[in-house]
Amino acid sequence: MGSGLVLSSDMAMVLGLVGLTMVLFLFERIRPDVVALCVLVLLGLTGLIAPEDLFGGFSGSAVISIISTMILGAGLERTGALNRLAGWLLRRSSGSEKRLLTLTCLSAAAVSPLMQNPSVMAMFLPVSSRISARTGIATSRMLLPIAATIVMAGALTMVGNSPLILLNDLLMSANANMPSGAASIHPFKMFAPMPIGIAMVIAVLLYFRFHGDRQLREEDRAVTPGRTESYFANTYGINGDVFELTVTPQSPLVGTTIGEAERMVGAPLLLAHRSHGESRLAPPSDARIWVGDVLGAMGPNDEVLRFADAHKLTASTRLREFGDLFNPSRAGIAEAVVPPNSRFIGKTQAELRFRKQYGISLLAINRDREVLREDVRNIPLRAGDMLVLHCIWQRLAEVAAQKDFVVVTDYPKARQRPHKFKIAMAIFAVTMLIALSSRVPVPIALMTGVAGMLLTGVIHMDEAYAAISWKTVFLMACLIPLGWAMDSSGAAAWVAGHTVDRIPQATPLVLIELALAILTVLFSLIISHVGATIMLVPIAVNLALATGGNPTSFALIVALSASCNFMTASNPVISMIIGPGGYTPRDLWRVGGPLACIYIGIVVAMVNLLQMFR
């Protein structure tokens, strides 16, 4: 079973780039999208990829499909479809917690195969928040089952997650480098993996019904975001009434800035400022305070009155100036989680100028179950941070549309188009019917749906641009050529050959497939599911050819196993629920570890079962 291949300079350079990429992804010293761009540039400079092919990833079917699913999901969200869903789930559950959890997971499973997993999770965060507030079920018992179902249901179609979207493009690249006499690999059709997806959805529902939910109950932190005064008081220590503090000529605050006033000992939260006849919520920290100005302050009664007395301010609980601004239907406190692709990561509130640029006050940060309230202006944000914000709802909706944070709170949203609901659902149904046709490629079918939503006004063009996670698109488009280089240089064949040399001849193929699935999971924990797929699919195809296996099956096992990460924040879906659910690493490994083993077993078993019936 000798490999017959000698390591060439091109192979060595490609493998060196793969190793460099893994190290940079692991230590996160450089942003993943910047790493991907550097890899793309190096592939061009070394001549490993021809100049005319170097940027082919940006126009590939995988990238177009991802962009389309993001826009289609945003279109459905604009119609208020999920608000209807939350109400329907509550009515159908008939007061049964288990039935409610099952129905919620099934609803997520119905949406997940047609959209990107992080987008589906972003849509279901406020749904779970609303259900939790109305029923008292802790969000920690809801979010992990929903997230796991979304990940598993992504296997129902070829556009349910990024690895499956990438798979056909990588298989077509492998065809160009197949040995003479080897049969060509045919691309998968839209619903080819559906039997595997159905088996995994059934498994995850049974797992949480009989085991996972019991584990989460034991760790129940009663995180029920009712968005009431008592909730924010108990969770974040944010409590008290709203006062209007009028600045007198004798006040030492005259001439100081809002930021300086907030840093004074015993200062309450300063949420609004009226100066020169203009009222503003979330005043910028450099705004000056003058005689006659009015400050909107929130805090315990005695603390606010003590601060007012010490600084010669006239306090009033009657909101003459800020009554409209503090109307709950217009403004309030909300929670939002920072996703992995946010531009806010690594930056402080002071650098982002939350108040001046966005009109939002950052009140606290919930990080790894620790509430940070002191000097929040100068704390760099991390992925998974839960931000406690106070702002006007319309401003919150505008900022949330940029996808730099995902709002967990169910709040009154601007620019909803519920009258377009039926149109959006009809377009979605037609899109899926076109995708079912073997005559029309999936990217064209999905883009047809995008065009339909734009023409009918379900979503506007600027909103469509905002719905696209350009970081995800850029990361994928830049790494795709690395997969091509693995094939064209022979590096994948060399790795596969030398791997086969070390496998005992009597080893069953199913054990090789199982080892490949586990290896893919380990890669995905380090370099993300996209990176693992791009690097390992070429190796899997060559490994199948060397061992007498089916290249299509081996490649599918890699693409499916790449999403098998329920234990760490390197999975974007999991990173989005850690803060809202209050999960610890122990919780994720305790509940997600056994589920990952079940996932791998189902993938290998079902892929082989489907191969038998082909």
Neighbours of 183 (CB within 10 A): 9
Residues 311 and 355 occupy one common structural domain: no
Quote the pLDDT of residue 5.
Answer: 65
Residues 341 and 291 occupy one common structural domain: no
Q: Residue 333 corresponds to which amino acid?
A: I
Q: Are 185 and 551 in contact (CB under 8 A)?
A: yes
Q: Residue 512 corresponds to which amino acid?
A: I
For 28-65, how does the pLDDT look when each residue is reduced to its tens digit (9 = 90+)? 788 888 888 999 999 999 998 888 888 988 888 888 88
Residues 245 and 301 occupy one common structural domain: yes
- 311 CA to centre of own chain: 46
84 lies in some domain: no
Residue 323: pLDDT above 60?
yes
Residue 228: pLDDT above 70?
no
122 lies in some domain: no
Separation of alpha carbons 285 and 265, rounded Å? 17
Share of the chain above pLDDT 90, in %: 21
Average pLDDT of 13-29? Answer: 84
217 lies in some domain: no
Number of domains in the chain: 2
For 86-111, how does the pLDDT look when each residue is reduced to its tens digit (9 = 90+)? 667 767 766 677 788 888 888 888 88
Quote the pLDDT of residue 235.
Answer: 63
Q: Residue 582 corresponds to which amino acid?
A: G
> Where is pLDDT greater, at 439 or 224?
439
Report the chain's mean pLDDT, rounded to a whole number.
Answer: 83
370 lies in some domain: yes
Residues 298 and 372 occupy one common structural domain: no
Q: Are 139 and 128 in contact (CB under 8 A)?
A: yes
Average pLDDT of 231-252? Answer: 79
Residue 471: pLDDT band with limits 50, 70, 90 = confident
Rounded to 10 degrees, the C-alpha dihedral 248/250/251/252 comes to: 160
Residue 238: pLDDT above 80?
no
**Residue 364's domain spans which residues?**
331-407
Separation of alpha carbons 112 and 106, rounded Å? 10
289 lies in some domain: yes
How far is CA 64 from each of CA 60, 105, 177, 369, 446, rounded to the nearest angstrom?
6, 28, 24, 38, 9
Residues 300 and 348 occupy one common structural domain: no
DSSP letter (8 states) at residue 345: B
Residue 149: pLDDT band with limits 50, 70, 90 = very high
Locus of tokens 């490609």 = 14
DSSP per-residue letters across 37-84 = HHHHHHHHHTTSS-HHHHTGGGGSHHHHHHHHHHHHHHHHHHTTHHHH
Quote the pLDDT of residue 27.
Answer: 76
Single residue among 374, 407, 440 that ends a domain in this structure: 407
CATH of the domain at 367: 3.30.70.1450
352 lies in some domain: yes
Residues 309 and 369 occupy one common structural domain: no
Residue 460: pLDDT above 60?
yes
Residues 268 and 343 occupy one common structural domain: no
291 lies in some domain: yes
Residues 312 and 388 occupy one common structural domain: no
Residues 312 and 252 occupy one common structural domain: yes
> Where is pLDDT greater, at 355 or 215?
355
Quote the pLDDT of residue 604.
Answer: 94
Quote the pLDDT of residue 441.
Answer: 82
How far is CA 92 from each of CA 97, 100, 145, 201, 462, rounded to the nearest angstrom?
11, 8, 19, 20, 37
For 496-548, how does the pLDDT look when each residue is reduced to its tens digit (9 = 90+)? 777 777 888 778 889 999 999 998 998 888 777 888 888 888 888 888 888 88
Residues 336 and 282 occupy one common structural domain: no
Here the tokens at position 509 are 């193929």
Single residue among 407, 429, 446 that ends a domain in this structure: 407
Single residue among 354, 380, 407 that ends a domain in this structure: 407
Separation of alpha carbons 72 and 63, rounded Å? 14
Q: Residue 243 corresponds to which amino acid?
A: F
DSSP per-residue letters across 202-239 = HHHHHHIIIIIHHHHHHT--------SHHHHHHHH---
The total number of residues written for the chain in this structure: 614
**In 3-state terms, what secondary structure has residue 327?**
coil
360 lies in some domain: yes
Separation of alpha carbons 378 and 363, rounded Å? 12
Give the CA count within 13 Å in the CB-facing half-sphere of 529: 30
Here the tokens at position 134 are 């109305």
Residue 483: pLDDT above 50?
yes
